[in-house]
Amino acid sequence: MSEELMNTKEVARYLNIHEKQIYALIRAGRIPATRVTGKWLFPKKVLDEWIEETSKNGLEQARKKKERISGALLAAGSNDPVLDILQTCLKKSHPEFYIFTSNIGSTQGLEALDRGFTDIAWSHLFDPETGQYNVPFLPKLACHVKAVVVNLFWRELGFLTLRGNPLNIKGFKDLTRRGVRFINRQEGSGTRLHIDFHLQKLGISPEKIAGYGDDVYTHVGIGLSILSGDADTGVATKAVASLLNLDFIPILKERFDMVCDQSVFFQKGVQALVAELGSELFRKRCSHLGSYDFSESGKIIYATA
């Protein structure tokens, strides 16, 4: 056989199914095939395109048919105390909606969105080459999603230490000093990408940082590690420093977004969530944190054409 054409036995092996199932697919018109001198032949290039398209359609159908509690939304990705406040306020104003969140990091959140495991991804991935957040990562991490990126807020990120900053932490170079114990964020998180970017920019080897290999999955986890004495410093939000009465040494201000498929964006629950960003109750509950910028909240940053 030509390597460009496959017979039914070869296709069965290629798809890892029984040859009888190939004939059933042919009869149903669900697989591309050509009949030549009484035999069915399958152009490999066309077959590969069919497999890819079938996979995409299957993912879309999975999203549409996923059974769950009525009014529930699944969310995954990065975390922030404001998300808890937002979801609490949403529940008060719209008790019919539920949001179930998993703190797995920005990268894994977008990957879960792409695979249809979640409706919403929380993300703050920074691309040093473009200076943009989240959008440059969509072709790689969420290529099967017709994405909408909506800004939730801007927040401050920096080093957390005990009150009084006893080890005088001022920047990344201080992490290499003897006696300084660092607590890291997990690989794939937006905060970890910021940390690695700054270390690379300054020419600092992670091997010189005590605790670089120790990580936690949340910003609150960073703060608790410092309070418990397991670490001297780590990178987290200013809000966590305020909540846990820790010192804060600023590094940068970053954008935190919600990413979802366009079909999900227009669901009532998501629209209610976006509207809640501007509610008086939500803004009042966030005001004591004092480190958030809501000037672009609810703004559509990007939408796949």
**Confidence class for position 52, pLDDT limits 50, 70, 90:** low
Tokens representing 163 are 């009150």
Position of tokens 């199932």?
A: 21
What pLDDT score was predicted for residue 235?
A: 97
Residue 56 pLDDT > 90, yes or no? no
In this predicted structure, what is the pLDDT of residue 59?
44
* Greater model confidence, 68 or 225: 225
Contact 264, 303 (CB under 8 A): no
Mean pLDDT of 216-226: 92
With 80 as the cut, is the pLDDT of residue 17 above it?
no
pLDDT digits (tens, 9 = 90+) for 258-299: 999 999 999 999 999 999 999 999 999 998 887 899 999 999
Residue 218 structure tokens = 């949340």
pTM: 0.73
Domains of the chain as residue ranges with CATH: 5-65 (1.10.1660), 72-154+255-285+298-303 (3.40.190.10), 157-253 (3.40.190.10)
